[in-house]
């Protein structure tokens, strides 16, 4: 697995790639995380089979901070995603988005018609900032994700929301990524969402032509499953949300084998 850097619209973007040469798969991490969260997929059999590309969003991981804080928004990140895929000859990649990454994938979907299918998890689609209180469960620690300055204790509390209750998954890597993220990325994202500067995601999923897989850890502490199940999603893969036992908000880390198996099934059905 190699770490490389590419310029996308003048923005330095760091990314990880796997050794596989099959269908391209682009991975988008969550708020205050980084591309290294996908290493269980990239290091394993999935990464040896598929051409995996996992980018660090601006201000996250090893990517440069945004020159303009307006880039720290769903439209800004969506432009990075589309440009990244185009630059690496992966415009026809399957796009997998976790949490914030899922919202970015939906924002970018209308501009990425060659994508054969999308996978999101930990991502309740909304049409307004007011709907966030319906899409997410009332966990106080989630406020850290929209705060500029974050203490180590606050970062660890936020990271603890990523896993299922009682999980033994270490939180050190999540915590380190949260602390390393540009605080302006969190604060500016909050401001842009509050001001309604993002697309109507409910309209996007209602008209999406490509299959949309929605995965959900049974121990999810952040995204509201009942809310997601009540949405109108004509292209929903297999007609229902796919539950993953033994996982919370981060099934790619908690149960990587089950997560990879679902991705492989989704890709296989796209190719039928």
Q: What digits encode the pLDDT tens for the residues 204-243?
A: 999 999 999 999 999 999 999 999 999 999 999 999 999 9
Position 141 scores a pLDDT of 83
Using DSSP, state whether 141 is helix, strand or coil: helix
The model's pTM: 0.97
Helical spans, DSSP H, in the chain: 39-43, 45-49, 74-87, 100-108, 132-135, 152-160, 172-180, 183-194, 201-207, 225-229, 251-254, 256-270
Rounded distance, CA 14 to CA 60, Å? 9
Contact 38, 66 (CB under 8 A): no
Q: How many Å apart are CA 226 and CA 207, to the nearest integer?
A: 21
Residue 13, beta-bridge partner list: 6
Residue 114: C-alpha distances to residues 65, 73, 185, 209, 270 (Å): 29, 23, 29, 11, 13
Q: How far is CA 138 from CA 2, 133, 194, 226, 241, in A?
A: 38, 7, 17, 14, 21
| Domains in the chain, CATH or no CATH each | 2-270 (3.40.50.1820)
pLDDT at 145: 87
CA 8 to chain centre: 19
Q: What is the number of other CB atoms lying within 10 angstroms of the CB of residue 153?
A: 9
b vs e for 205-226, b when ≥16 Cβ sit within 10 Å of the residue's Cβ? beebebbbbbbbbebbbbbbbe
pLDDT for 130 equals 94
pLDDT of residue 139: 87
Both tokens assigned to 86: 């185009």
Q: What is the pLDDT of residue 150?
A: 95
Q: Tens digits of per-residue pLDDT, 108-130?
A: 999 999 999 999 999 999 999 99
């Amino acid at each position: 697995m190699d770490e490389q850097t590419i310029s996308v619209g003048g923005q330095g973007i760091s990314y990880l790639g796997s050794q596989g040469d099959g269908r391209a798969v682009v991975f988008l991490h969550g708020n205050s995380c980084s591309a290294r969260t996908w290493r269980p997929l990239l290091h394993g059999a999935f990464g040896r089979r598929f051409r995996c590309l996992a980018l660090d969003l601006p201000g996250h991981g090893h990517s440069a901070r945004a020159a303009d804080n307006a880039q720290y928004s769903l439209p800004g990140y969506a432009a990075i995603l589309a440009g990244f895929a185009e630059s690496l000859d992966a415009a026809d990649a399957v796009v997998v988005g976790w949490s914030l990454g899922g919202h970015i994938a939906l924002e970018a979907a209308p501009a990425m018609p060659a994508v054969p299918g999308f996978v999101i998890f930990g991502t309740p689609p909304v049409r307004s900032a007011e709907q966030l209180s319906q899409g997410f469960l009332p966990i106080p620690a989630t406020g850290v994700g929209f705060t500029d300055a974050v203490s180590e204790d606050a970062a660890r509390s936020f990271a603890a929301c990523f896993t299922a209750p009682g999980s033994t998954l270490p939180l050190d890597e999540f915590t380190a990524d949260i602390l390393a993220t540009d605080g302006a990325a969190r604060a500016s994202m909050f401001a842009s969402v509050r001001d309604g500067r993002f697309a109507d995601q409910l309209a996007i999923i209602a008209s999406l032509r490509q299959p949309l897989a929605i995965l959900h850890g049974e121990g999810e502490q952040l995204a509201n499953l009942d809310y997601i199940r009540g949405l109108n999603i004509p292209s929903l893969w297999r007609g229902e949300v796919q539950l993953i036992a033994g996982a919370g908000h981060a099934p790619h880390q908690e149960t990587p084998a089950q997560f990879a198996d679902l991705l492989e099934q989704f890709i296989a059905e796209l190719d039928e």
